Amino acid sequence: MITVNEILNQQELSKQDIIRLLSITDKGDQELLIKKAYSIKESTIGKRVFLRGLIEFSNYCRKNCYYCGIRRENSKASRYSMTDEEILEVVDFAQRKQLTGIVLQSGELSSVDFIKRITALITKIKKATNPEFRITLSLGEQSLETYQRWFDAGAQRYLLRIETSSEDLYKKIHPVDDLHSFKVRLKCIENIQKAGYMTGTGVMIGLPFQTIENLTDDLLFIKERDIDMVGMGPYLEHADTPLYNHKDLLMPAMERFNLSIRMIAVLRIMMPDINIASTTALQSIVPLGREAGLKAGANVMMPNLTPLKYRSSYLLYDNKACINEDTDDCLNFLEKRIRMIGEEIAYNDYGDSIHFIKRK
């Protein structure tokens, strides 16, 4: 049988190679994989980490996804929506902290009022920031017209996680109705690219019913769709969701963590010049989980800038990290930890995906 080291020395990875790498159980083999991925990240992007300030401005959602704590039918969720003034205060804080962009994230809504509000909010942010300040949107499925409207208003990046590229698995983790369509999700990814955005997607790792082949297909999907930025991390359960009923099918949290690290590493090998986020979910399992993600090939972090009074209400999963940390302290601590692993924050770099720049 071909060794992991021999696979890592190949020019291209086959589907069977990816399955083998994701199935690693030997600690030494995992270290080889991580070392290879980090060397590619270092030579392509450098020892730099790009920060995007995350603003979770509302947890109202029209969707009813089985895995999500802010799903529409979770009556236990404490609903909130930040005002534009509150959001602009956070944007000002981000600028003062030398961050070069923010991520606007909320539950999914698509009403006329919501679309108009986001359009106006983007315009306000552009007026309050320097012309190059980056706005990333993570606002779910919308029409091509809406994506284009927001892009024309000044947003440059859009993140829509596919969660899984398997239609069969998608149907197991969502209601089967007109509001939860796998084909619509795929079309939205296509429309986001068509509108001109730097396009991001991602998947959950370690879901009930999920196989290593599913995850392999996820990575191949990301490559085939020519994605520019990826955010993926371990699936973490929420007690007030239907998927929690299948918690007995889950692999242990540390296995989900290690599998997530291998996913990051393999994706970096497959797509050397994309942006890959090291997600908060990693830190929710291991205190230095996000740093481990960086050492496996990730190059982006999204510190949570949401005001503390709202942060504990945006719970997609239980035991979320950083919900009680003062934002100033969190940023200072984050910088120290990044330096501790030999990386540095690229404060003066907008951190656009090299993959996106090359294609343009």
Instruction: Provide the pLDDT for residue 229.
Output: 98
Q: Where are the alpha helices (DSSP H) in the chain?
A: 4-8, 15-22, 27-44, 84-96, 112-128, 144-153, 167-173, 182-195, 212-224, 253-270, 280-285, 289-295, 308-311, 327-340, 354-359
**Three-state SS string across 94-120, please?**
HHHCCCCEEEEEECCCCCHHHHHHHHH
Domain locations in the chain as residue ranges: 26-359
Distance CA 325, CA 304 (A): 9
In the chain, count of helices (H) and strands (E)?
15, 12
Instruction: Provide the pLDDT for residue 330.
Output: 85
Instruction: Provide the pLDDT for residue 328.
Output: 86
Higher pLDDT, 292 or 321: 292
Distance CA 41, CA 300 (A): 12
Instruction: Provide the pLDDT for residue 263.
Output: 98
Of all residues in the chain, the percent with pLDDT exceeding 70 is 100
CATH class of the domain whose range is 26-359: alpha beta
Helix (H) or strand (E) holding 233: strand 233-234
Question: Phi-psi category of 204—alpha, beta or left, where left has phi over 0 and alpha has psi -120 to 50?
Answer: beta
pLDDT of residue 360 exceeding 80, the answer is: no
pLDDT of residue 155 exceeding 80, the answer is: yes
